[in-house]
Structure 1
């Protein structure tokens, strides 16, 4: 207690200058001693990378509320944006000091890309007003603290492009105000917890090691952006997708999803639909004309004839599936009119396409037809992965028809 009293005396003017803080108008106020000490601890644990001078203004003989990246309300720090926010700035290195949790009024915490190592201190959950937490493109390791679930007002959690391990704590799913969850490019494992927030609009979990299945109750209908690519998630998703009719971006690629996809998802207000490299099967039958710019269904087990309703897609990847029959005439019309930019149909069981061998494909468009149950009527450049064979062996085509 005596030591604390001595510290308070130092703050009241013996060793430090009075601190001016703007609250509506200029008044003389002293930064809360606890916040002052927390800022000092944070400064000691972090340094500028070569070429950065972010901490140049952090002179503790002056008002901390004038420091770069420090924002105050009254005698409390309410926002801390560490590092030069300009693109390409070198960033910071070091560790996040647990004293960050002493900033009890902190509502916003961000750190620019750099070389921050070590765990995210679970003391950060002591800042009960925290609404925005973004520390991406650093080298954070360890697990995501389950105590983050205590931040009842948290709206944005961005810990992407780090080296985090362990599971996504179920407590994160219990955050009722959460709007953005961005944990992509880590080493997270386990299943995705159910989310109760009805204002959740963005979930980006791509490039992790997530497993398990998705249940209809896992994701709320408010979602507009969903990326689960490059994981190991299994099972069907048809019932899940039917609930997400506000999606404008969906990427489920490179997983182990199975089952059919509902035709109604093609009516969602999406710009991108990425379902490639899974185990989806069945007929692809949109409910209406498709207005999605890019649809990638490649490397699955879809079958049946190609729907003419897909001809309005600008970039369509149907390659490496089991589609059969003739390519609808509407595709040829739109391709020659340069309305289709990419049409990949290679490695299927298609039997024909009504296009003249003398037709000129617009330079802005790409068409690949090789390795089907037909001789391509014209030669067009194909991706190297399509291989050298122009036509599928007759025995395979006969077996497929049989």
Structure 2
């Protein structure tokens, strides 16, 4: 609601005449905006967050609200304590009148409706976090006017449509968390040189990623459970300080760049894509968990993987012998998971009487060999021990 300054000051004088001296601390426009915000919200059962919002007292003493001078600068809607109930209702467009707002959060609850376009007026906003609610509609392109925005967290909602290019162009972004929505279209180019975290998993994003889609400042990258496609070797080569990466369950193609095995990460998740070619780490791999399963990788298995604690290479097209260093790793329990099922492997040098530690899992089913040891495999690996001879001959040919 747009209110002239003259009317606001008349309202303020009336409040003073009524004896509500405490209210006079807050800017009248902020005061009226807070009233509108309050009317659009209610406590969920078990919550008493809004009980302190008594407008006969100073709003700067309301729960979750902080002021600087006569302006509201922080608004944390709902009780932030873990496990407490949230709020129900909608975000009133009047929230855009809180011109001094630098931080806006809404705790998990049942907030519905769209993000009001009036939020684009919050040009001082640095932190916007509205996660685990039921926000729907599209992300307003006008949020691209929030040039001071550092963190944008709209995860676990029901947002649809594209990620606006205006969001990618925000110059000060550090964290973008839009996972678990229904967003579609392509991933826009992110130009912020301070962007460290990008989480877009579990959406419906599609199309390729260009080599300059992301700044080299990225440290956390999660794009899993989308329909993204095309090669990523040039993109990943330009992200030298990644410490978390999950590209699983997409349609990425091409080679896996050797540099990815040198990143300071604990888990590498590239499973269920369409990566192809041989895998060639440049040095001994020190990543704890590497999952390259369900791709189209071929060639021999690199011995440089023998230091990986949990290795998933199943459902590919690997050939040749399993490196002897893998056997040593399994028998000493240094390798805890070694899934090699559904490949074209021809042998492994392990004695049938070898005792595999209880803490280790080895699966060799459906290769071009009879598994020399009987070990439990995942139920989804099927009951067939070996590949049909015709398939093995065709693949060698």
Q: CA deviation at 1:386?
A: 0.2
| 1:82–1:110 contact (8 Å) kept in structure 2 | yes
From 10, 14, 18, the equivalent of 1:14 is 18
| 1:295–1:313 contact (8 Å) kept in structure 2 | yes
Report matched runs for 1:197-236 at 5 Å: 197-236=192-231
Gaps of 5+ in 2: none
Gaps of 5+ in 1: 20-28
Q: In structure 1, how many angstroms separate the alpha carbons of the residues matched to 2:325 and 2:165? A: 48
- TM-score, structure 1 length as denominator? 0.96
Q: In structure 1, how many angstroms separate the alpha carbons of the residues matched to 2:14 and 2:331? A: 79
Counterpart of 1:172 in structure 2 is: 167
Q: In structure 2, how many angstroms separate the alpha carbons of the residues matched to 1:32 and 1:11? A: 12
Matched, 1:265 2:252: no
Aligned positions, number:
393
Q: In structure 1, how many angstroms separate the alpha carbons of the residues matched to 2:230 and 2:17? A: 65
Q: In structure 1, how many angstroms separate the alpha carbons of the residues matched to 2:38 and 2:259? A: 53
| 1:12–1:30 contact (8 Å) kept in structure 2 | no
Q: In structure 2, how many angstroms separate the alpha carbons of the residues matched to 1:13 and 1:355? A: 91
Q: Deviations over 1:160-180 (max 9, x none)?
A: 010001100000111111010
Counterpart of 2:336 in structure 1 is: 341
Matched, 1:371 2:371: no
Q: In structure 1, how many angstroms separate the alpha carbons of the residues matched to 2:365 and 2:99? A: 64
Q: In structure 1, how many angstroms separate the alpha carbons of the residues matched to 2:232 and 2:341? A: 26
Q: In structure 2, how many angstroms separate the alpha carbons of the residues matched to 1:39 and 1:185? A: 30
Q: In structure 1, how many angstroms separate the alpha carbons of the residues matched to 2:41 and 2:328? A: 61
Counterpart of 1:361 in structure 2 is: 356
* Root-mean-square deviation (Å): 1.2
SS of structure 2 residue aligned to 1:18: helix
From 373, 378, 384, the equivalent of 1:383 is 378
Q: Deviations over 1:128-160 (max 9, x none)?
A: 110000001100000001111111110100000
Counterpart of 2:249 in structure 1 is: 254
Q: Deviations over 1:8-30 (max 9, x none)?
A: 213435252325xxxxxxxxx61
| 2:244–2:268 contact (8 Å) kept in structure 1 | yes
Counterpart of 2:111 in structure 1 is: 116
Q: CA deviation at 1:124?
A: 1.1
Q: CA deviation at 1:62?
A: 1.2
Runs of 4+ in 1 over 6 A off after TM superposition: none
Q: In structure 1, how many angstroms separate the alpha carbons of the residues matched to 2:335 and 2:56? A: 64
Q: In structure 1, how many angstroms separate the alpha carbons of the residues matched to 2:66 and 2:334? A: 51
Q: In structure 1, how many angstroms separate the alpha carbons of the residues matched to 2:103 and 2:55? A: 22
